[in-house]
Amino acid sequence: MSGVVCRSYTVSGKVQGVFFRASAAREATRLGLTGWVRNVPNGDVEVLACGEPEQLAGLEEWLATGPAMARVDAVVARDENAADHRHLTDFRTG
């Protein structure tokens, strides 16, 4: 468990109304990550993901394109304190 890290992502572009959240949750679950994904009022999508660095790298690569109907303009990543998120046990859509 000591290798677990958490990162938050803000994804901007045409990312709402294109199944981005459901697709991101599916991809994160496939990668074995915990966390959540949600829409924000300004049209962006926020993601918090925790797992091994290799798992997060896979998610970051996926976030850069998203699902087929999305257009990702930017992904901004920030490191998070993993201890603050140790209560997460799965990946959820909010």
Q: How far apart are CA 42 and CA 53, in angstroms?
A: 29
Candidate list 30, 39, 42, 81, residue with the active-site label: 39
**DSSP label at 56?**
H
Q: How far apart are CA 76 and CA 28, in angstroms?
A: 17
State residue 65 phi and psi, 5-degree precision: -120, -40
21 in active site: yes
Candidate list 21, 30, 38, 92, residue with the active-site label: 21
Q: How far apart are CA 20 and CA 1, in angstroms?
A: 29
Catalytic residue numbers read 21, 39
